[in-house]
A and B are shown apart, each in its own frame.
Chain A
């Protein structure tokens, strides 16, 4: 019952999405369908640039956002997608190693920051180690979660332990972390600067010292089982040059290294 409802809701949402696309295309409708699986952190940027790509290529772009690890798992389970864009380079490299993905390209960078509600008094990672601070992080399997653990490991061990001890939730993707923080449920979280930008003024980003900041590079490739590999390569190229590159830059992403 619950699943049926979820499916029905998904169908309605997808339907609504298609409706918009058709409107943008002026009803051309018979474009090829391109399925793009991308990390949640890129949702605003890619949603903004997808219509332009659709117009230019006479294609119908289906964007699917989730944690990079879940999208990778879907591809391993045989999901037919045309582009896989992850929030790290290791997941695309893994898929490439398993012959499931074309050789990955690096197309953007992001900044790993400490996010707090706009009215928070927290100013540094040290403040997050104080007792009673509710910290929301990504689950270990999702890139933001592994970046978080990687970064905290560079802190003095007692501070690292204190912060990990303050963790109240391991969320499956960045949206979960941001949602909990903007609802005032959590006091601090580790996310990408683009996620904080996307909330408008609900959250503020606190820069971390350079030595704590992990190198966040986004990698993408075209799955071996893609239905539209050529169009997928087009989309991939557009991530570094073209409307999607611009949209990523506007959302706060850095250029590919």
Chain B
């Protein structure tokens, strides 16, 4: 009864092997090229911890903003239909396909000192270029579509019967959104958060062009890696390894939470 695997199955396996090798080899190389001792040393090196702390801080702030504003916005887009909705969704998704350099230029043209809203920003007493706030703006700009898109899909796939039931029982829409929609859509929201986190943590081009590069203020880990690339390749490698480890840890913990939500299932 045992059948030999068909040619198609062999092809599939081969393609997976190629994909896997291509995607993991560069990452494995980072770790092969830098010993664990180098890793520890690189963190002790001046500026490396500053960069890591700045990356975590700015990423956390931008993710908080994205969740707070993006979740209701995604809910609206997922649950209402209106004229021009497809266009609005496209606009929201547009930064997904923008090269980072374009994002940097666009931010400068919009809220940079000579940008169309530059005067307003300055009058409000807010400093963006060369300031940590500017890094947060850049991260939020490039990362939010990843979350909003995923959140929209999550809300759209929730069975409307559940929300209607809560309405019938006298709950306001706001209450239904908080107590029914968010818990049910949570796995999707968490997955979206993970994507946005990864994107924000790795942001490089938009940050450099819009906010500049200064240790402790605007030099996030990717910028610190680039700064070390030419003169201290080993330090750059080690810092890259740290970023890989942190990103992997975030992805993994999110997956664990995500998984338990799927298993635990029921909303509170």
| Dominant SS among interface residues on chain B | loop
Most chain B C-beta atoms within 10 Å of own C-beta, residue among A142, A172, A179: A172
CB closest chain-B residue, reference A6: B99
Is B31 an interface position by the 8 A CB rule? no
Mask, A29-51, CB within 8 Å of B = 1, is 00000000000000000000000
Chain B positions 217-268 with a Cβ under 8 Å from a chain A Cβ = 217-219, 226-231, 233
A169 engages B230 (CB within 8 Å):
no
Is B97 an interface position by the 8 A CB rule? yes
Residues in B with CB closer than 8 Å to A136 are 212
Is B108 an interface position by the 8 A CB rule? yes
Residues in B with CB closer than 8 Å to A21 are none
B226 engages A172 (CB within 8 Å):
yes
Chain A positions 60-86 with a Cβ under 8 Å from a chain B Cβ = 67, 69-70, 72-73, 76-77
Is A217 an interface position by the 8 A CB rule? no
B130 engages A134 (CB within 8 Å):
yes
Residues in A with CB closer than 8 Å to B114 are 183-185
| Dominant SS among interface residues on chain A | mixed
B218 engages A183 (CB within 8 Å):
no
Which of A9, A76, A168 has a CB less than 8 Å from the CB of B130? A168
CB closest chain-A residue, reference B108: A183
Mask, B158-174, CB within 8 Å of A = 1, is 00000000000000000
Chain B interface size range: 20 to 34
Residues in B with CB closer than 8 Å to A16 are none
B202 engages A142 (CB within 8 Å):
no
Question: Given A77-B233, A134-B130, A172-B226: A9 and B99 within 8 A (CB)?
Answer: yes
CA distance A76 to B101 in the complex (A): 27
Q: Write the nearest CB–CB distance from A3 to chain B, whole angstroms.
A: 9
Question: Given A2-B100, A169-B214, A172-B208: A180 and B227 within 8 A (CB)?
Answer: no
A73 engages B130 (CB within 8 Å):
no
Q: Write the nearest CB–CB distance from A6 to chain B, whole angstroms.
A: 6
Is B70 an interface position by the 8 A CB rule? no
Is A54 an interface position by the 8 A CB rule? no
Is B112 an interface position by the 8 A CB rule? yes
Is B148 an interface position by the 8 A CB rule? no
B214 engages A185 (CB within 8 Å):
no
Interface, chain A (partner B; CB < 8 A): 1-2, 5-6, 9, 67, 69-70, 72-73, 76-77, 134, 136, 139-142, 167-172, 176, 179-180, 183-186
**What are 19 A-to-B residue pairs whose CB atoms are below 8 Å?**
A2-B100, A5-B97, A5-B98, A6-B101, A9-B101, A67-B230, A139-B227, A168-B130, A168-B214, A169-B214, A170-B214, A172-B226, A176-B209, A185-B108, A185-B112, A185-B114, A185-B129, A185-B130, A186-B130
